[in-house]
Structures are given as C-alpha cells and as structure tokens.
Amino acid sequence: MIHKFTLLESNIVVDVNSGAVHVFDDISFDILDYYKEYSSDEIINKLSNKYDKKEIEEALSEIDELKSKDLLYSSDPYGKYVPLVDSKAVVKALCIHISHDCNLRCKYCFASTGDFGGQRAMMSKEVGIKAIDFLIANSGSRKNLEIDFFGGEPMMNFQVVKDIVAYAREKEKRHNKNFRFTLTTNGLLLNDDNITYINENMQNVVLSIDGREDVNDKMRFRVDGKGCYKDIMPKFKQIANARNQDNYYVRGTFTRENTDFSNDVIHLADEGFKQISVEPVVAAKDTGLDLREEDLPALFLEYEKLAKEYVERRKDGKWFNFFHFMIDLTQGPCIIKRISGCGAGHEYLAITPEGDIYPCHQFVGNDKFKMGNVAQEGIDISTQNLFKNSNVYTKKECGDCWAKFYCSGGCAANSYQFHSDINIPYKVGCEMEKKRVECALWIKAHEMV
C-alpha cells in the first residue's frame, strides 16, 4: 500500500509497510496513478500528451527500482506479531491521579473540572505507595517504569508527590528498575521551591496553557472566573529556562472556539518556548466545543500554515518543536510498538486517589471500566485483554489506512466516547491525525532535500 499526496507544492509518497518516504517529481507522481493496473506501454500512452516519452521511461525505471528494493508497494508481514491475548500483560506506566480537585474550572475539562464526576479527593501517601508496589509487582522484566502525576491539579497534593517519589527511589535499585517521573500542572501553585524540586526530580513536565491570553483565559479560569494566563506565564518561562528548554512541554488544547490554533502555537513560540504541544480537544462531545467534520477544512489549513512557519523558523534559527510534527524517520519506534499502540488498559493504567485502577486517565470515573484496586491482588483480565487485543489489525477501519503505523489505531478513549466501542476509530480525530502526519512528513522532506 502506498499513500501519495501533494502538500505545499511537494509530491510526497509513503510506502506504508516499509515506512519509506520519497519525494516524486510530477512525472513519476502521475505514473503512480496507473502503475499497478497498466503496462509500461499503456502508461506511456496515457501520459504522452503531457510528458516526453524518454522522461516517462526514466521515471518508470526509477519506480521499478524502488519496488524491487522493497521501498514501494512492499508487503505487510506484521500480522503475526500482533500482541497475543493470552500472553501475560506487563504494566510499565501509571498515571497517578494524585488530586481529584483543581483550582481551575476549565470549560473543556474531561475530568469534570477535576473530580472526574466523583467526590473531590486527594490521594494519600499509603495509596501512592501501594500504587508503586503494584507497578513493580506487575512490570515483569521491564526496567524503565513511568509515573505521571496527574489530576485535577497535582500541585494541590504536592507533599504526597514527594513521598511517592522518595518511596519509588528507595525501591528501584533493589528491584532493578528505573523510575521516570512526569508532572502535569496548570502552574498556579508553582513557586521557587517547588520548581527546584520539580527540575531535580521530574524527567518531564507538562505545563498546561492554551496559547494567546484571551484564548487561554476564556477556557482556563479560576473558581471565581478570573483567567490564569498572567499568573502562569512567568512561572512557565522560569521552569522552561531552568530546564534549558528541554524535557518539558507547554501543552494547550484547542476547541471549536479557536480553530485558528496555529496562532496559539506561534504565540507560545514567540514567548520563547521551544517544546510546544497544542492538541485538539477530545472529551467534549455535546459541549459545543467539540471539533466536527465541517471544521476539518479550516483545521487542515491551520496545520499547513503552521508547517510552513515551522520550517521557516527552524531555518532562521528561531526553531521550536511541535509535538505532533516530530517524527523520527530513522530511529522512531519499532514496528511492534507501532502495532501495539498507546498501551492503555494493559501496559499503561490510571490510578485514582482511592487506588482504583482504570485503563487510562480518560476512562476514570466510568465504573464499567474499573479494573481493580491497588490494595487488592490482581486486576480484571477481561478488560486488560480487551485493550491488549485492540490494534490496527483488529480495527476494521485501520486496515486500509495509510497512517496506521503512525497513530497505531488512535485513542481508545476517543473511540469509546464517540462510538461506545474502543475498536471503532473516531473519524474526526483520524482525519486530523492524517493531516498532522502529512505535514510532519512534508517538513522532513523539506528539511532533508
């Protein structure tokens, strides 16, 4: 299977199964429309009114060469590597909901402004310790284990964050593990002391801000309705600079109310941030904020506009990274990872303040998906297998999709929210993902040619 597209005057061809990417001139690009169904002579006939015969023959021979080298129309040998349901699942990452309370009331919050539809609650040190023990016990031979402190707002329960980090560090050597910590914060409670602690202990920090002040403050405001931009911006700059502009993300959400989100990305870049992620809202069905099919043409233009600006800035030394444009074509994830997807529900789980286990942070609060509790032995194997057995080979819509090895089947929570089935991809999300990947490949092509 191949995917061919023209973006900003470049003809790009992706060989889906090998992962090879090429830039074609117009002749070779046009030939691909006929290559699989017609003989060389027929193709020459069809294109002879447009191109010189000798040029068509040359281009045909180059396409033949790519095909013979398995860099075009290559086969798919991966089906047999699909994760086996009956093999024991290994847990390697936990999203620890350290606080089910928040000092913001963001309009699009999938966590119901922090409480995930339940009681506002804080995780105790005891539950946190049990979560670490649970992870170690279920991680098999995996050495690298990840903990993301999430909320609500995790800084509202910061002492327990510290307690859990200290406990995990105490345990890791004995169990031959390496813990990596991430903290996701809205920034309101950051101060010099806790910034120092965060920079010394967290491998990654995700700093929530949506971009321009008016856009941010319309969505992200305090209980009294006051926006947070002016308070958080200087703190986020401080933390990013203290980390040498690495191992962090400023992370925003865009909704139907700011479909011109490229301006928010550029705003964050203009403020000096180098690691930026601004992403489409997800769990906003029926809120009026959700992105719809009719929004896609405008969103596609935004991604293109951003890709163009991205390349210009990187060329001029004003570089920044945009999370969804970062594709490493040579040393990216292996095919096994690409088949397995995000790992939610089997290798990645979420833990609530009460110690309840869910497939991921997006499922927290949905009793149907409660898989157990860290205080008890074992977890619900049927739910774990449901997620483990959900991948690009089990999702009908993914079979013919050229982007399947880039998104790995998409987000299960998206699928569930829109179709009540984790195996039916969320179409608007898929279309945006494909556009992002096209832009990312265009950027690579532009920077490498």
Partner 1 sequence: MKHIKIINKTTLKDSLKKGGCGECQTSCQSACKTSCTVANQSCENK
Q: Which of residues 246-305 bind partner 1 (CB under 8 A)?
A: 249, 251, 253, 277, 279-283
Q: Given the rule CB under 8 A, which of 41-49, 152-160, 298-306, 360-368 is the region that contacts partner 1?
A: 360-368
Choose which of 27, 102, 161, 188 interacts with partner 1 (CB under 8 A): 27
Residue 323 binding partner 1, by CB under 8 A: yes
Tokens of 108: 């699009």
**Binding to partner 1 (CB under 8 A): which residues in 370-429?**
405-411, 413-414, 429
Write down the least CB distance from residue 274 to partner 1, Å: 13
Question: Which run of H or E residues covers position 24?
Answer: strand 21-24
Residue 21 binding partner 1, by CB under 8 A: yes
Choose which of 383, 433, 434, 439 interacts with partner 1 (CB under 8 A): 433
Write down the least CB distance from residue 180 to partner 1, Å: 8
Write down the least CB distance from residue 208 to partner 1, Å: 10
Query: What separation in angstroms does the CA of 259 have from each of 7, 35, 409?
Result: 20, 39, 24
Handedness of CA 279, 97, 392, 2 (dihedral sign): positive
**324: amino acid identity, one letter:** H
**Binding to partner 1 (CB under 8 A): which residues in 185-244?**
204, 206
Residue 331 binding partner 1, by CB under 8 A: yes
SS3 category, 130: helix
Q: Given the rule CB under 8 A, which of 17-25, 112-120, 187-195, 299-307 is the region that contacts partner 1?
A: 17-25
Is 334 exposed, middle or buried (CB count within 10 Å of its CB: 0-12, 13-18, 19+)? exposed
Choose which of 2, 92, 103, 154 interacts with partner 1 (CB under 8 A): 92
Burial code (b: 16+ CB inside 10 Å, e: under 16) for 292-321 equals: eeebbeebbebbbbbbbbbbeeeeeeeebb
- Between 27 and 127, whose beta carbon lies closer to partner 1? 27
Is 245 exposed, middle or buried (CB count within 10 Å of its CB: 0-12, 13-18, 19+)? middle
- Between 62 and 375, whose beta carbon lies closer to partner 1? 62
Question: Which run of H or E residues covers position 144?
Answer: strand 144-150
Residue 361 binding partner 1, by CB under 8 A: yes
The answer to whether 83 touches 339, Cβ cutoff 8 Å, is: yes
The answer to whether 78 touches 335, Cβ cutoff 8 Å, is: yes
**Binding to partner 1 (CB under 8 A): which residues in 48-67?**
55, 58-59, 62-63, 65-66
Write down the least CB distance from residue 74 to partner 1, Å: 7
**Binding to partner 1 (CB under 8 A): which residues in 127-146?**
142-144, 146
